[in-house]
Structure 1
Amino acid sequence: MSEEPTIAALATAPAPAGIAVIRVSGPRTRKALKTLFLGSHSPTKHPRELCYGKILDHRSKEVIDHALVAFFPSPHSYTGEDVAEFQMHGSLLLVQKILRSLYSFGISPAEAGEFTKRAFLNGKLDLVQAEAIGDLISASSDEALRVAASQMKGKLSDVVLTLGEPLRNSLAEIEANIDFPDEDIEPESLEKLSLTLGELRTKLVGLASTFDSGVILKEGFRVLLCGPPNAGKSSILNMLLGTQRAIVTNVAGTTRDLLEEQATIAGYKYIFCDSAGITETKDEVEKIGIELAKERIPWANLILMVVDASQERIDGDFPWRETLKNVRAVAKRVWLIVNKIDLLPEAITRFAEESRNCDQVFYLSAKTKEGVDFLREGLVEEVASSMPDASASSALVTNERHRDCLIRASKALDRCVNAIVDKMPLEFVSAELRAALTALEEIVGKTWTEDILGRIFSKFCIGK
């Protein structure tokens, strides 16, 4: 039986830097260190210590660089295999030379996520924890970091395994009865099992329902600014971002394309999208921008409908009221942002009727900054109020794969309960119990396929 290939890759960013780190993992790691490293202390004799020395070219034996090298013997390493890490000068040319030396020694280039994949296969972490490593690396807000760290510590895994335990026990009891049919299960026991599975299904659905909140923490809360031209959408975007990102002029129709930017407020990530003013126009470019704005409405978690406080009514009505009605029909949440109140302080009374058609109304001036803090606080509260209680025992689902597995498990339990109620043969009950258990085990990786692993680890960078 052939041994697992030894792999190597750059573990730091592929750019010039003060230090670069090359990671090696596999059965040839120890031999490679003995051959390619020259120093007063051998890393293989001083594991888990940084040893200073020279890195040699495998073929010419010339010195490539001076480096600090650490050796982590199996199984006490990240991957569970023999692992070495080279801390060297951050020249990409030196990195390439050392990698070529390792490759000429019979070591293979690592694929994307292969180090973490080996850690999973060797039982160093489960699949949820492996995915959380990728989430931790890509996190761009404090809350995203917190959730990723929680999953790395095993919070979600513990919840899933706890939910799976009664399934495993029930399956064992049902299958024992199938194997030994002389001992019939009492109807009362089946009725109790049906109630237990129903309660378990409710917990699974509840956990799956945290996905929407989890995605917001992980990817960001999406906010679309829309409304009539020249109402101050771009000014408000710049104000929320704290930088002059969008062009602002007195000319209506300045914004013609979608402009997307990210910001972190109170630890939460927001994705703000400015859009073209919605109006009737003959300008073909402006028409395209308006259509893009309309198409983006379902994308947003929240619509900021920005209007001009000083705008006069036409025939007793605001010209943008129909736009607000159309937005309201397809949007998840709509806030009316009455801008330019510095021009008309009594605007609050003018918009009483429109406020009933929105989830909230904010009165502000992008020019004087009056009311801006209230809008920012409102955005934070909007996200915070949608989050599960941080002190609750249930974990947060941030991964679509996990959500899909939970839904599959809950549907299998539905069918299982129906099979019990309909007094179907126990083989049907057993099959659905096993389907539910398999779906839960897929989350943590007790059950997996190469296709699942391929899709997960292909998202990782090479070297992780």
Structure 2
Amino acid sequence: MSSTRETTTIAALATAPVPAGIAVLRISGPEVKRVLRGVFRAKENPVESPRKLILGDLLQRDGKETLDRGMAVYMPGPKSFTGEDVAEFHIHGSPLLAQKLLRVLFAFGVVPAEPGEFTKRAFLNGKLDLIQAEAITDFISATSERALKIANEQLHGRLSSTLEGLGEPLRDSLAEIEAHIDFPEEDIQPESVDKILAALETVHARISPLIRSYEYGAVIKEGFRVLLCGAPNAGKSSLLNALLGKKRAIVSTVSGTTRDVIEEPAIIDGLRYVFCDSAGIRDTEDEVEKIGVELARERIPWADLVLLVVDAGSTDSSWSELLHELHGSAAQIWMVTNKIDLHPEAIGTIFCDSSICPQNFYVSALTGNGMDSLRTALVEEVQRHNRNNSEASEILTNERHRGCLDHAAQSIVRAREAIEQGLPLEIIALEIRGALTALEEMVGKTFTEDILGRIFSKFCIGK
């Protein structure tokens, strides 16, 4: 935030811009008290009674006509969310009314808040660290109980506290090494070297499961990604609709109906999934369908699981050719033979070798036969996936955090190698300092405007 921006008073609607019972507008900055006196009239002055909701009249710019009957609260800094003077106006929930009040505020010299600017000011004023700031938007966007729990823990500083504990032995080791750099006539003792190596090993051992936990955390936050893939008219769209429990994709007996990638989130037994229906993969002269087929192929590496959907009445081996293509690029493949209501003889006769497809299912997306088994298997697969990637006490859900910890871990490995190879102390210190810097970037002790810009641009306006 530029120094000019820091001296401005900002305003934004803090609630959704839709008709509702109440709308809340928030302002923060040095001119809050002046603005309050100009736009709010009541028997009790909010500035003289801080942190108390007071009923009164919201005024037009001329200070005479009433805009609405509502409530105002004043929260003086530094004991406020942003660390600055803050006020909120609670008015009737008309989007038009909210916009009219914003225009009145702007007439007093208040400027529109940028995305995430209230939280950014809270960070810059030391009210929360960068992990806690990011946890706010994760909390807002959480779609499962587990995602809410992790965001809440990070918001309350659990992950930040863990990182502080990781940094302490690194700082002690760096101080020891720098002392010997400053006084080179005193050789570093073997026991000091052993202590530094042990500290590096301990920190690395604690970072590694955190890094691995991101695979689990990404599923919690974004969802387990399932791609429905197969030849045209295999029943992929019908299967998607059956999994979702609603009609999301167009179903037709005409081959090649699905031309684009259809992505749809779903919650099954409290677990988040992202199902993706794709165009039937085949050679075609239709230019639009070709694009759809290419998009389908591009999604294969994206998926955590590919469901190869096969028509139970299929008489050719097109699915075996597709299976060969999938085997080289898909993380995991299950075969789902669909339309068994029309071809029950296919049960047990169409299957994929377990070394390639660990699961084979026979379903009718139309009648629902076999769908419960598929849903149960999907839940068990995510639970297994989560167990294999959740040995850390804290779970990473943010890619930036994983990148910082990757950097720290690599620096620690290089520092250990430098010690074992007897390299100069300056090189060892450089690597340990690099690990510390990565941890400090993660919590926001060191940052650049570019980093802050990328983080807070993802926030909604008013937060």
What is the TM-score when the length of structure 2 is the normalising length?
Answer: 0.92
> 1:137 & 1:101 partners in 2: Cα distance?
29
Match of 2:57 among 37, 54, 58: 54
Query: 2:282 maps to what in 1?
Result: 279
Change (3 A) 1:390 1:57: farther
CA RMSD of aligned residues (A): 2.3
Deviation at 1:280, TM superposition (A): 4.0
Match of 1:108 among 81, 106, 111: 111
Equivalent runs, 1:8-27 vs 2, <5 Å: 8-27=11-30
Q: Is the 8 A contact 1:73 1:81 kept in 2?
A: yes
Change (3 A) 1:113 1:153: same
Q: Is the 8 A contact 2:82 2:118 kept in 1?
A: yes
Query: 2:126 maps to what in 1?
Result: 123
Is 1:66 the counterpart of 2:66 in the alignment? no
Letter in 2 for 1:436: A
SS of residue paired to 1:298: coil
Is 1:308 the counterpart of 2:308 in the alignment? no
Letter in 2 for 1:399: N
Segment drifting more, 227-236 vs 179-188:
179-188
> 2:462 & 2:279 partners in 1: Cα distance?
43
Deviation at 1:23, TM superposition (A): 0.4
Change (3 A) 1:280 1:452: closer
Is 1:331 the counterpart of 2:334 in the alignment? no
> 2:291 & 2:7 partners in 1: Cα distance?
56
Q: Is the 8 A contact 2:51 2:74 kept in 1?
A: yes
Letter in 1 for 2:383: A
Query: 1:463 maps to what in 2?
Result: 462
Deviation at 1:306, TM superposition (A): 0.8
Letter in 2 for 1:64: L
Identity among equivalent pairs (%) = 57
> 1:117 & 1:275 partners in 2: Cα distance?
40
Q: Is the 8 A contact 1:208 1:407 kept in 2?
A: yes
Deviation at 1:233, TM superposition (A): 1.1
Deviation at 1:281, TM superposition (A): 4.0
> 1:179 & 1:285 partners in 2: Cα distance?
69
Change (3 A) 1:291 1:35: closer
SS of residue paired to 1:87: strand
Letter in 2 for 1:299: W
Deviations 1:74-129 (A, max 9, x none): 22211122211100122333323322332232323222211101111122111001
SS of residue paired to 2:300: helix
Deviations 1:117-142 (A, max 9, x none): 11111221110010111112222333
Query: 2:415 maps to what in 1?
Result: 416
> 1:62 & 1:23 partners in 2: Cα distance?
22
Letter in 2 for 1:153: H
SS of residue paired to 1:123: coil
> 1:287 & 1:438 partners in 2: Cα distance?
48
Deviation at 1:352, TM superposition (A): 4.8
> 2:14 & 2:88 partners in 1: Cα distance?
9
Deviation at 1:143, TM superposition (A): 3.1
Is 1:394 the counterpart of 2:393 in the alignment? yes
Query: 1:215 maps to what in 2?
Result: 218
> 2:387 & 2:119 partners in 1: Cα distance?
30
SS of residue paired to 1:439: helix
Deviations 1:381-426 (A, max 9, x none): 2222222589855211111211111111111112211221122222
Deviation at 1:284, TM superposition (A): 4.2
Query: 1:29 maps to what in 2?
Result: 32
Letter in 2 for 1:158: S
> 2:86 & 2:287 partners in 1: Cα distance?
61
Letter in 2 for 1:229: P
Query: 1:147 maps to what in 2?
Result: 150
Q: Is the 8 A contact 1:336 1:355 kept in 2?
A: no
Deviation at 1:452, TM superposition (A): 1.3
Q: Is the 8 A contact 1:159 1:394 kept in 2?
A: no
Letter in 1 for 2:174: L
SS of residue paired to 2:328: helix
Query: 2:207 maps to what in 1?
Result: 204
Is 1:372 the counterpart of 2:375 in the alignment? no
Segment drifting more, 127-136 vs 143-152:
143-152
Is 1:259 the counterpart of 2:262 in the alignment? yes
Change (3 A) 1:350 1:393: closer
Segment drifting more, 378-387 vs 351-360:
351-360
Segment drifting more, 241-250 vs 351-360:
351-360
Gaps spanning 5+ residues in structure 2: where?
Answer: none
> 2:29 & 2:78 partners in 1: Cα distance?
11
SS of residue paired to 2:318: coil
> 1:393 & 1:331 partners in 2: Cα distance?
27
SS of residue paired to 1:350: coil
> 2:277 & 2:102 partners in 1: Cα distance?
46
Letter in 2 for 1:53: G
> 1:353 & 1:67 partners in 2: Cα distance?
66
Q: Is the 8 A contact 1:59 1:101 kept in 2?
A: no
Query: 2:247 maps to what in 1?
Result: 244
Change (3 A) 1:72 1:390: farther
Deviations 1:39-85 (A, max 9, x none): 12222222222100012234443322211111112222111222111
Change (3 A) 1:393 1:407: closer
> 1:81 & 1:74 partners in 2: Cα distance?
4
Deviation at 1:170, TM superposition (A): 1.2
> 1:89 & 1:196 partners in 2: Cα distance?
58
Query: 1:358 maps to what in 2?
Result: 357
> 1:276 & 1:5 partners in 2: Cα distance?
52
Deviations 1:169-215 (A, max 9, x none): 11122222323344432123213322331332233232122222222
SS of residue paired to 2:164: helix
